[in-house]
């Protein structure tokens, strides 16, 4: 019976229940057909023949030519069993094929139940594509789309989306494959009706979403043409005992805990120590020296005082109002201490020690998590360096304090990467709201942190290093919430098979197929950093750059050679060089020498005084048709680096004061003074780098990718 959505869920339920009762993990072709019909997935006309004569009369009824296929619950790979014949175009051929198929099947598997032979309209023409669904360990149900055929199999040109997909998402998924142009009708072939093709993807995605026990589905081939898309073959695999996703908290629950963890009234340091070199000593010192304004209670039964603060034997003896307990004791002592902290009602336990799942002690980690759950305590870690939150002057870490406050929140799954974040931030004076280590992620995961940073007014951009996601679906949901408000950058380590193997030996994380991650993170609007350096750079620069209001990018350069490289970088980063309208071109030309080149890049040529840079940049800023500027500077005696930097900072500052807030990035070519000039520009809101034409454009590209995902363009 069809429901209001047009889907006949009861029919599917009946098929699946029967399979379950029979202990089967696969469906027969007629069962698959029933599922397709129930969800409106177009399939060729077909019927089951239980004799050669019946096959002939069905073939005539459906229309010749036909395809004949064995129907047996035990035979999944029908072709291997000699159970498929195609192009049967006469009654005699159908009759003979029926007999051969049944004989082949018996020879292939004498124990197989042979229910008959399916006679199917022969479809073809149009473009062969495949549509599938699978159950990803990280993301759950995902749908896949690709062209059919040998070539695409070799080139692995497919695209993934999280199920269910809307019609719009399915169209984007179709357009996402490299060979998508084939579907638009090249060399005079008929264009595919992509709306109808997208509809098949949507329907399959709904089917696997409504019935999670369908662990895999393959529609392959689907013949897609201008008049529709027909799934010529279907395959369904079932799993009635799927893995359960980790516990999920509501947004309110997450925020209640996270607000207390990042803005604690007071903090207990369990294992605080006076002994230099001990983690419990470093953490105490860093919290106090970092300038945290709340109370810090050392917990150490062997000391009266630690770093000038009264020490307590257990957290039970400490004063009220403790929101966070930081554990700096060996792993084996954590359960008992966490039990006590839980009884005191802390919101967060920061588990710095290692010696849990990463060294094979999964049971200990599970025990600790169970204690935390019982008390409603959220765990950060274990196996982490701790966390920083600059708005509260909080450096709860054994590293060193960090106090350059700003808009970027950074997280890392690995301690080594955390140290790179800290060093790089310090070296470049990156304004940071938070740096957080998540380590083994026994509990708090990137989605919890995204949820917090998403609503945190101190955070303008979020940059995350991760090797896996415990709950990819929760992450995507959190990202979708946050992306419209601020950029989310992700460095996914373990992109390659070698990297994933390394991740496996590191945290026991199962690094998923990178293409799945890539497509689904993009679908969620996440900006992916290709490497560590880009994660750090995007994190540093994205909050500095204003959001562009449109796609028109203009390059203004003093060095033609930089203009060429900057143009290459524009294309590499998916940006569009504005086609400069004649009147604007005329205006640029008025400022530059006759042998300079207007157009885009605007090449003002090398020997120009500061005023030429100034006038052309001002023009680019003030013309409302221009949305972003890329500057190429060439060190000359006439316009030295710091003169350029100061004039650009001034012009951009004046424009911003007048309400014109466009992203401006700069590449500085010159002697070493360009380093200080770049730093000056960065400080004044112009993302500038020396000795590279790629990086400024790459950062602008990341800003654009985010702005498009956020729906701001």
Among residue numbers 304 through 363, which ones bind its own copies (CB under 8 A)? 354, 358-360
Contact 665, 699 (CB under 8 A): yes
CB of 637 to its own copies, least distance (A): 6
Our CB check for its own copies shows the closer of 314 and 576 to be 576
Q: Helix 695-709 vs helix 532-541: angle between axes, to the nearest 10 degrees? A: 70
Would the CA dihedral through 467, 470, 476, 477 be positive or negative?
A: negative
Our CB check for its own copies shows the closer of 138 and 215 to be 138
Restricting to residues 3-32, which ones interact with its own copies according to CB under 8 A?
Answer: none
**Window 599-618: contact mask with its own copies (x via CB under 8 A):** x-x-x--xx-----------
CB of 342 to its own copies, least distance (A): 27
Q: Is 427 in the site for its own copies (CB under 8 A)?
A: yes
Residues 289-301 as b/e (b if ≥16 CB within 10 A, e otherwise) read ebebebebbbbbe
Q: Is 558 in the site for its own copies (CB under 8 A)?
A: yes
CB of 54 to its own copies, least distance (A): 32
Restricting to residues 381-420, which ones interact with its own copies according to CB under 8 A?
Answer: 399-400, 412-417, 419-420
Q: Helix 194-210 vs helix 9-21: angle between axes, to the nearest 10 degrees? A: 50
Our CB check for its own copies shows the closer of 360 and 624 to be 360
For residue 546, give both structure tokens: 């204003």
Our CB check for its own copies shows the closer of 162 and 493 to be 493
Distances (CA, A) of 122 to 218, 278, 533: 19, 75, 54
CB of 392 to its own copies, least distance (A): 21
* Binding residues with its own copies: total (CB under 8 A): 102
Q: Which of 403, 572, 579, 586 binds its own copies (CB under 8 A)?
A: 572
Q: Which of 60, 172, 255, 532 binds its own copies (CB under 8 A)?
A: 532
Our CB check for its own copies shows the closer of 242 and 423 to be 423
Q: CB under 8 Å to 330, separation ≥6 — which residues? A: 353, 355
CA angle 379, 465, 685 (to 5 degrees): 115
Restricting to residues 448-467, which ones interact with its own copies according to CB under 8 A?
Answer: 465, 467
Restricting to residues 152-171, which ones interact with its own copies according to CB under 8 A?
Answer: 152-155, 157
Distance, CA of 387 to CA of 411 (rounded, Å): 9
**Window 32-71: contact mask with its own copies (x via CB under 8 A):** ----------------------------------------
Our CB check for its own copies shows the closer of 297 and 613 to be 613
Task: Return the number of other C-beta atoms located less than 10 Å from residue 616's C-beta.
Answer: 27
Restricting to residues 244-303, which ones interact with its own copies according to CB under 8 A?
Answer: 277, 282
Question: 63 in the Ramachandran plot: left (φ > 0), alpha (ψ -120 to 50) or beta?
Answer: left
Q: Is 559 in the site for its own copies (CB under 8 A)?
A: yes
Span interacting with its own copies, options 309-317, 470-478, 516-524, 530-538, rule CB under 8 A: 530-538
CB of 690 to its own copies, least distance (A): 7
Distance, CA of 108 to CA of 125 (rounded, Å): 32
**Window 199-228: contact mask with its own copies (x via CB under 8 A):** ------------------------------
Q: Is 179 in the site for its own copies (CB under 8 A)?
A: yes
Span interacting with its own copies, options 143-151, 364-372, 481-489, 658-666, rule CB under 8 A: 143-151
Q: Is 145 in the site for its own copies (CB under 8 A)?
A: no
Span interacting with its own copies, options 59-67, 81-89, 97-105, 693-701, rule CB under 8 A: 693-701
Q: Is 693 in the site for its own copies (CB under 8 A)?
A: yes
CB of 358 to its own copies, least distance (A): 7
Q: Which of 393, 473, 528, 695 binds its own copies (CB under 8 A)?
A: 695
Distances (CA, A) of 499 to 514, 537, 583: 10, 22, 52
Q: Is 671 in the site for its own copies (CB under 8 A)?
A: yes
Q: Is 674 in the site for its own copies (CB under 8 A)?
A: yes
CB of 521 to its own copies, least distance (A): 16
CA angle 153, 468, 267 (to 5 degrees): 170
Distance, CA of 228 to CA of 55 (rounded, Å): 27
Our CB check for its own copies shows the closer of 299 and 384 to be 384
Q: Read off the DSSP letter of residue 26.
A: B
What is the full DSSP assignment across 413-469? Answer: SSHHHHHHHHHHHHHHT--EEEEEE-TT-SS--HHHHHHHHHH-TT-SEEEEEES--
What is the full DSSP assignment across 598-614? Answer: -SSSEE--TT--HHHHH
Q: Is 536 in the site for its own copies (CB under 8 A)?
A: yes
CB of 662 to its own copies, least distance (A): 20
Q: CB under 8 Å to 622, separation ≥6 — which residues? A: 655, 660
Q: Is 182 in the site for its own copies (CB under 8 A)?
A: yes
Name the β-bridge partners of 214: 238
Burial of 103 (0-12, 13-18, 19+ CB in 10 A): exposed
CB of 687 to its own copies, least distance (A): 15
Q: Which of 101, 207, 219, 422 binds its own copies (CB under 8 A)?
A: 422
Restricting to residues 578-597, which ones interact with its own copies according to CB under 8 A?
Answer: 594-595, 597
Contact 283, 326 (CB under 8 A): yes
Distance, CA of 559 to CA of 479 (rounded, Å): 40
Would the CA dihedral through 506, 508, 509, 512 be positive or negative?
A: positive
């Amino acid at each position: 019976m069809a429901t209001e959505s047009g889907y006949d869920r009861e029919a599917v339920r009946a098929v699946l229940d029967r399979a379950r009762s029979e202990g089967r993990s696969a469906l027969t072709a007629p069962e698959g057909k029933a599922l397709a019909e129930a969800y409106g997935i177009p399939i060729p006309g077909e019927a089951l023949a239980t004799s050669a004569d019946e096959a002939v009369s069905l073939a005539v009824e459906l229309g010749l030519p036909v395809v004949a296929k064995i129907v047996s619950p035990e035979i999944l790979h029908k072709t291997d069993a000699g159970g498929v014949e195609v192009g049967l175009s006469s009654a005699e051929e159908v009759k003979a094929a029926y007999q051969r198929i049944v004989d082949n099947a018996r020879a292939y598997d004498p124990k197989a139940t042979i229910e008959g032979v399916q006679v199917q309209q022969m479809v073809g023409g149009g473009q062969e594509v495949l549509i599938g669904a699978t159950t990803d360990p990280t993301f759950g149900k995902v749908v896949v789309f690709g062209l059919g055929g040998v070539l695409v199999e070799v080139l692995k040109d497919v695209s993934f989306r999280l199920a269910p997909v809307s019609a719009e998402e399915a169209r984007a998924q179709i357009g996402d494959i490299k060979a998508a142009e084939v579907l638009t009708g090249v060399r005079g072939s008929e264009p595919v009706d992509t709306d109808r093709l997208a509809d098949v993807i949507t329907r399959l995605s709904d089917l696997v979403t409504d019935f999670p026990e369908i662990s895999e589905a393959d529609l392959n081939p689907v013949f897609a043409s201008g008049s529709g898309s027909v799934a010529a073959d279907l395959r369904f695999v079932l799993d009635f005992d799927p893995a359960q996703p980790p516990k999920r908290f509501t947004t309110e629950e997450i925020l209640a805990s996270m607000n207390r963890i990042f803005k604690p009234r007071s903090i207990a340091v369990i294992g605080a120590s006076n002994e230099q070199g001990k983690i419990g000593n470093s953490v105490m010192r860093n919290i106090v020296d970092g300038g945290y304004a709340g109370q810090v209670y050392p917990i150490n039964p062997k000391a009266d005082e630690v770093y000038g603060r009264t020490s307590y034997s257990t957290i039970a003896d400490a004063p009220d109002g403790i929101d966070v307990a930081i554990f700096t004791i060996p792993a084996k002592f954590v359960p008992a201490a966490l039990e006590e902290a839980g009884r005191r009602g802390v919101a967060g336990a920061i588990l710095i020690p290692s010696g849990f799942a990463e060294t094979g002690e999964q049971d200990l980690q599970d025990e600790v998590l169970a204690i935390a759950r019982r008390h409603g305590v959220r765990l950060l870690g274990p196996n982490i360096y701790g966390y920083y939150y600059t708005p509260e002057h909080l450096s709860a870490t054994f590293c060193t304090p960090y106090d350059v406050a700003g808009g970027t929140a950074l997280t890392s799954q690995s301690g080594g990467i955390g140290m790179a974040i800290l060093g790089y931030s310090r070296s470049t004076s990156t304004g940071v709201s938070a740096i957080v280590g998540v380590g083994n992620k026994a509990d708090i995961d990137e989605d919890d942190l995204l949820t917090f940073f998403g609503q945190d007014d101190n955070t303008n951009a979020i940059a995350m290093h991760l090797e896996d996601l415990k709950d990819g679906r929760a992450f995507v949901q959190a990202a979708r919430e946050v992306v419209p408000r601020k950029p989310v950058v992700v460095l996914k380590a373990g992109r390659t098979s070698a990297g994933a193997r390394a991740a496996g030996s590191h945290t026991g994380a199962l690094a998923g197929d990178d293409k799945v991650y890539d497509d689904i993170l993009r679908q969620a609007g996440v900006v992916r950093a290709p490497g560590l350096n880009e994660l750090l750079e995007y994190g540093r620069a994205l909050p500095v750059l204003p959001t562009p209001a449109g796609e028109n990018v203009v390059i203004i350069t003093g060095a033609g050679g930089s203009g060429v490289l900057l143009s290459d970088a524009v294309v590499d980063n998916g940006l569009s060089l504005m086609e400069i309208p004649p009147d604007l071109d005329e205006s640029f030309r008025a400022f530059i020498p006759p042998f300079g080149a207007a157009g885009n890049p605007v090449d003002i040529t090398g020997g120009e005084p500061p005023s030429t840079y100034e006038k052309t940049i001002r023009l680019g800023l003030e013309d409302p048709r221009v949305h972003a500027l890329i500057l190429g500077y060439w060190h000359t005696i006439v316009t030295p680096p710091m003169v350029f930097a100061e004039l650009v900072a001034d012009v951009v500052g004046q424009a911003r004061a007048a309400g014109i807030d466009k992203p401006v990035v700069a590449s500085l070519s010159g002697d070493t003074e360009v380093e200080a000039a770049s730093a000056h520009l960065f400080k004044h809101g112009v993302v500038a780098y020396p000795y590279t034409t790629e990086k400024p454009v790459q950062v602008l590209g990341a800003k654009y990718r985010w702005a498009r995902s956020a729906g701001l363009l």
